[in-house]
């Protein structure tokens, strides 16, 4: 005797139950959402301070050669001069006038000036007068390690010529052993695509072996903390 066809209402209930089971199963196997917001990564640069905004009359700044001090030989520091000058120009806070090592040597008897050492008498006033500048920016290397894990320590200060006071300073160490720094390198080089047929990941990886490429990221992160215009 053939079985009676199921009542339409019964079939609907069975279908609804099966659908509910599928949804519940999908909820068990899919990603869980705790409702908690993911915390952003901690900032790489923390040790900086300065005025809320740059003075309105600060329009031109003399950038001194990178001072290696006891942390790095002159050749290593000199290789970063153009890197930091480029990064500072990109911030578009003011006009940048890089002082060459040759000119620094001619004027002050040394190819670079460490910000924590005694400065030549009248140095700020001389640079301000001769370059029509309202500020002078120092960059010292406090740490330098070209091998893995690569590291650069930066101490930077922006001084006003007229008032002989600091409007901004930053003192930080960037290490390739810091996951936040590595993540920052990837973000920094990602928009650039690649040179020499390299992709962005290769650029970031090569920066962990190249002081100049690593320095470009370090300079960018450092100068981003300058006060707003």
* Residue 48 pLDDT > 80: yes
Residue with the larger pLDDT of the pair 46 and 137:
137
Among residues 128, 124, 63, the alpha carbon closest in space to that of 93 is found at: 63
* Residue 110 pLDDT > 80: yes
Collapse the DSSP code of 126 into the 3-class scheme (helix H, G, I; strand E, B; otherwise coil) and give the result.
helix
Among residues 161, 113, 103, 162, the alpha carbon closest in space to that of 141 is found at: 113
* Residue 195 pLDDT > 80: no
What tens digit of pLDDT does each residue of 181-192 get? 999 999 999 876
Where in the sequence is the domain holding 209, given as residue range(s)? Answer: 48-223
Look at the alpha carbons of 45, 51, 54, 57 in this order and tell me if their dihedral is positive or negative.
Answer: negative
User: Is 183 among the domain residues?
Assistant: yes
pLDDT-derived band at 32 (thresholds 50, 70, 90) equals very low
Q: What is the pLDDT of residue 44?
A: 77
Cα gap 216→189, rounded to integer Å? 10
Q: What is the pLDDT of residue 191?
A: 79
144, burial (CB in 10 Å: exposed 0-12, middle 13-18, buried 19+): buried
Average pLDDT, rounded, for the chain: 84
pLDDT-derived band at 81 (thresholds 50, 70, 90) equals very high
User: Is 6 among the domain residues?
Assistant: no
Q: 70: which 2 tokens?
A: 């006891």
User: Is 99 among the domain residues?
Assistant: yes
Q: What is the pTM of this model?
A: 0.79
Q: Which residues pair with 62 in a beta bridge?
A: 97, 136
pLDDT-derived band at 164 (thresholds 50, 70, 90) equals confident
Q: Which residues pair with 190 in a beta bridge?
A: none
Residue with the larger pLDDT of the pair 45 and 152:
152
**Phi, psi values for residue 116, rounded to 5°:** -90, -5
User: Is 158 among the domain residues?
Assistant: yes
2-5 long-range contacts, CB within 8 A, separation 24+: none
Cα gap 154→73, rounded to integer Å? 15
Q: What is the mean pLDDT of residues 31-42?
A: 50
Q: Which residues of 1-12 are buried (b: 16+ CB within 10 A; e: fewer)?
A: eeeeeeeeeeee
Domain total in the chain: 1
User: Is 27 among the domain residues?
Assistant: no
Cα gap 104→107, rounded to integer Å? 5
* Residue 205 pLDDT > 70: yes
63, burial (CB in 10 Å: exposed 0-12, middle 13-18, buried 19+): buried
Q: What is the pLDDT of residue 43?
A: 63
CATH code of 186's domain: 3.40.50.10610
Q: Which residues of 193-219 are buried (b: 16+ CB within 10 A; e: fewer)?
A: eeeeeeebeebbbbbbeebebbbbbbb
């Amino acid at each position: 005797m053939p079985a009676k066809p199921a009542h339409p209402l019964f079939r609907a209930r069975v279908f609804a139950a099966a659908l509910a089971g599928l949804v519940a199963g999908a909820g068990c196997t899919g990603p869980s959402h705790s409702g908690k917001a993911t915390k952003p990564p901690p900032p790489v640069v923390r040790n900086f301070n300065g005025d809320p905004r740059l003075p309105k009359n600060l329009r031109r700044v003399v950038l001194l050669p990178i001072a290696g001090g006891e942390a790095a030989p002159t050749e290593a520091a000199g290789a970063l001069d153009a890197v930091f000058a480029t990064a500072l120009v990109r911030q578009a806070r003011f006009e940048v006038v890089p002082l060459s090592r040759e000119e620094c040597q001619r004027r002050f008897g040394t190819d670079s000036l460490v910000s924590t050492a005694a400065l030549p008498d009248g140095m700020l006033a001389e640079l301000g007068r001769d370059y029509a500048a309202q500020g002078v920016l120092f960059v010292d290397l406090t740490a330098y390690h070209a091998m893995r894990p690569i590291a650069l320590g930066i101490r930077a200060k922006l001084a006003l010529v007229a008032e002989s006071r600091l409007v901004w300073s930053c003192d930080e160490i960037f290490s390739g052993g810091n996951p936040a720094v590595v993540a920052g390198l990837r973000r920094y080089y990602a928009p650039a695509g690649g040179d020499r047929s390299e992709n962005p990941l290769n650029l970031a990886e090569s920066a962990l072996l190249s002081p100049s490429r690593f320095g470009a990221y370090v300079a960018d992160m450092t100068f981003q903390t300058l006060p707003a215009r």
